[in-house]
Structure 1
């Protein structure tokens, strides 16, 4: 059986990343579906094994070619950058630098074709900034490292997939930035991702910006007609089943009911809220438009419980599963 090599970055060492990684790698289903390779800090992973009681052995390797991928063992490319006394649950520039370096190495491996997908544990934006890396989050960091001009954030939860036209900017700025070309490119990225995942003809719902999608000009200043309708007209002319603009207060319910395969949200909170209500523990973040496959947990570093062994690893399991779904198959040799 061919299993993709999934590079799993450890995330912020002061957060729950190390714990959810080792818990996930103790699950036999992960081994059956993938060949997991952690990019992180071996000593921190060993501490996470102690905290979680998973009983895994941590084995350092130089690269994917040296990994054994054996049950009961965590293969890790050890960047050895986290001090043994780094406390859990505290903001740290050292942990922020480590999180950056883990991502940087994983991207290099993916671009070189040595791993098939990247799955990321959570980083902390403040820690990343404290280390001198001024990115709003993983999405923008990955775009920079791969030289990608434009990517989209897709969030998934049980029965719901949402892709965002804009993400980490203020609401006023988001409305200003939305324009037909950006809407069209976002829908096309989402459509291509679903087709690759096996949905032959995705049904895509496109949200409006204003309440009730403007209700024929009653709300707003004609944003739907100016910014969204032209994109939908071009998409439908190309045979893409994109419908809208639709009222955001009902479209997510309709998607969960099964009417749509994907919802296109215009701004951060319009899309994030419904996804997190549907499944915060099992949510997954997918960066769409990169030259490499990347999935991530849809939760933060959870400093309040880091180091306690209480972190839920369901989102990491689902993120690995979706990385496997999206990754190309390869021969094991």
Structure 2
């Protein structure tokens, strides 16, 4: 089988993303690693960190070829203004989005098999006058995907989200039967297709404390969640819930499922990040391309310090490689 090309976007240039990308390049990998970035930025960061780095300009139409340790492919996207460690600059917000645009386009064109994203700083992109709520929503729009689903993994723990970057007061109105049906079907499909689970078991959290306690603590479970889950079970999906979110993450309950569906951001990700922060991976379900990411932010105060931990980006790269290889093998059989 031909080698795979995996794209890395270093994210916010003033943060630790470039550090992490440069560190990954210190080892040889089975796939061709290519940074979609400003090559000068990566070289300067390598120099600051005292790491050797040889940048190799990549023609995306050529066949991928793994590079030796210390080398990194690059598809050049120029910074708008030279970076300053730890200092955000609205002038570089378009650069960050251009790296994502380019990587997404290459994956859609089949010239790369996956993209792995380092953290971006949403605030500076919005301050630049560009509406941006996150990678997940951005990639969904660029790939024409109706409903992306954010799922984080930490070892065998998988937590997907029904809603992502919403204010808490907006969540109950967003939890509709239509949304739950769509999200659960995507999770079920992608666990089968991408993770090799023949009959996925999904644990679904309730929205309210104690999953509503028979309506005494809220009626969303009775009015929306329970009827929807019953209908999906009647279709053959293996679903348990709604379950109280304060007990679903206990070992005995987790043994009963292959993934957990949390209904809002902090309900699921607090537990996930406690279990595996620094080693967890964000994977976007429901896209036509493979995309994984880190579980942390830009850590502006650590940029260029040599203290940034690369574990999450390494795990994201490993998962992207695994998913891309599986997808490539499936496509070759079609």
1:177 corresponds to 2:174: yes
Alignment check: 8 A CA contact 2:5 2:64 kept: no
Alignment check: 8 A CA contact 1:158 1:278 kept: no
Give the Å deviation of 1:256. 7.9
Larger deviation, residues 170-179 vs 90-99: 90-99
Equivalent of residue 211 in structure 1, options 209, 212, 234: 209
1:54 corresponds to 2:51: yes
Give the Å deviation of 1:265. 0.4
Alignment check: 8 A CA contact 1:19 1:49 kept: yes
Alignment check: 8 A CA contact 1:20 1:311 kept: yes
Partner of 1:260: 257
Write the distance in 2 (CA, Å) between the matches of 1:251 and 1:64.
47
Write the distance in 2 (CA, Å) between the matches of 1:238 and 1:5.
38
Unaligned runs of 5+ in 1: none
Alignment check: 8 A CA contact 2:27 2:68 kept: no
Write the distance in 2 (CA, Å) between the matches of 1:166 and 1:292.
21
**Structure 1 pair 64/319, CA: closer, same or farther in 2 (3 Å)?**
farther
Q: What do the CA deviations read for 1:172-198 (whole angstroms, capped 9, x no partner)?
A: 211111011111211111112211211
Alignment check: 8 A CA contact 1:44 1:82 kept: no
Q: What do the CA deviations read for 1:174-227 (whole angstroms, capped 9, x no partner)?
A: 11110111112111111122112111121110000011101211211x110222
Q: Superposed, which structure 2 residues align to 1:113-132 within 5 Å?
A: 113-132=110-129
Q: Superposed, which structure 2 residues align to 1:263-278 within 5 Å?
A: 263-278=260-275
Give 4+ residue runs of structure 1 displaced > 6 Å after superposition.
none
Alignment check: 8 A CA contact 2:103 2:115 kept: yes
Larger deviation, residues 61-70 vs 196-205: 61-70
Write the distance in 1 (CA, Å) between the matches of 2:65 and 2:129.
35
Equivalent of residue 76 in structure 1, options 70, 74, 77: 74
Give the Å deviation of 1:255. 7.1
Equivalent of residue 245 in structure 1, options 242, 246, 257: 242
Q: CA RMSD in A?
A: 1.9
Give the Å deviation of 1:68. 4.5
Alignment check: 8 A CA contact 1:119 1:320 kept: yes
Unaligned runs of 5+ in 2: none
